[in-house]
Amino acid sequence: MTLIKLKTSIASAVAVLALCGSGASAQDAEAWKGGYAGIYVSGALFSVEASDLTDTITNDAPPISELVAAGGLKLGYNFAPRQGNLVLGIELDVNGSHTTSKLIASNPSGTSGEKFDNDVVLTSLLGRVGLANGDLLTYAVGGPVQASGSYVMRELNGNGSESCITIICAQTTEDMLGVALGGGFEWAFSDNMTARFELMHYALPTIAAPILNNDTSPACGGATLAECSVSFKSSSTDMKFVISYQF
């Protein structure tokens, strides 16, 4: 799902819920008011498009998409701004490492080709808007995401080594600011405990890593250092199962 489609889907869902929930009890939002802390497990589809102007290392490699397991923590507060079923909230979400490793082999033994590795931690400050209906809260969520990650693309040359000391590599460690959008359903199954299913999409900015020989010189012949680099454009779509305790 593209970011534009996701925004449209969330906006449509909130509009429909606003119409459907107009007759809810005045006490619904008050029951959700207060602070909470939660933990979660998630499955993520992490996608990366890698390219370089000189085709020195990526050689028109296909987009990389990997299913990865992750987990994290949530800390937030819900507000009931007026009588009715409207719930507003703010939430800190720390999403653990998304670790990806992909070999694009050019020979049967897998000793030649491109090897991609990355590790990304996502920390989001999110705003929530939801509609309560008794023990069920349906919500949309969005805000900025701080991504701290490392990216490495290696040109394997058949000697069995993956060390950037002996082969051509493009690698970088970056802090990036992106956008997180999503939504979900939360169920209060006891006085202080809730369970929720949440779908989140993280869109991250494009970053660049210089392509270097093992002596750290540019590996693209006469190309400048700006031209001799790999661009990484990444995103992640996460499905989360969250258990929270309400204070």
Predicted confidence at residue 3, as pLDDT, reads 47
CB hemisphere CA count around 20 (13 angstroms): 12
Residues 32-71 pLDDT 10s:
999 999 999 999 999 999 888 777 777 667 788 999 999 9
Residues 79-107 pLDDT 10s:
999 888 999 999 999 998 899 888 887 77
**Residue 132: band (very low, low, confident or very high) from pLDDT cuts 50, 70, 90:** very high
Predicted confidence at residue 60, as pLDDT, reads 61
**Residue 149: band (very low, low, confident or very high) from pLDDT cuts 50, 70, 90:** very high
* 16 has a pLDDT exceeding 70: no
Percent of the chain with pLDDT over 70: 87
**Mean pLDDT for the stretch of residues 203-224:** 84
CA 208/CA 196 separation, integer angstroms: 37
Give the sign of the dihedral formed by CA 218, CA 221, CA 226, CA 230: negative
The pTM of this model reads 0.84
**Mean pLDDT for the stretch of residues 213-227:** 77
Task: Please give the single-letter amino acid code of residue 194.
Answer: T
CA 202/CA 227 separation, integer angstroms: 28
Predicted confidence at residue 91, as pLDDT, reads 98
**Residue 8: band (very low, low, confident or very high) from pLDDT cuts 50, 70, 90:** low
Predicted confidence at residue 22, as pLDDT, reads 44
Q: 165-174, 194-203, 210-219 — which is least confidently predicted?
A: 210-219
- Phi, psi angles (nearest 5°) of residue 80: -115, 90
Residues 178-189 pLDDT 10s:
999 999 999 999
Contact 150, 119 (CB under 8 A): yes
- Phi, psi angles (nearest 5°) of residue 52: -140, 145
Q: Which residues pair with 72 in a beta bridge?
A: 40, 95
DSSP-assigned states of every residue in 33-51: -EEEEEEEEEEEEEEEEEE
Contact 204, 180 (CB under 8 A): no
CA 162/CA 246 separation, integer angstroms: 48
Contact 50, 77 (CB under 8 A): no
Residue count of the chain, please give it: 247
Predicted confidence at residue 213, as pLDDT, reads 85
Higher pLDDT, 162 or 2: 162
**Residue 233: band (very low, low, confident or very high) from pLDDT cuts 50, 70, 90:** very high
**Residue 173: band (very low, low, confident or very high) from pLDDT cuts 50, 70, 90:** very high
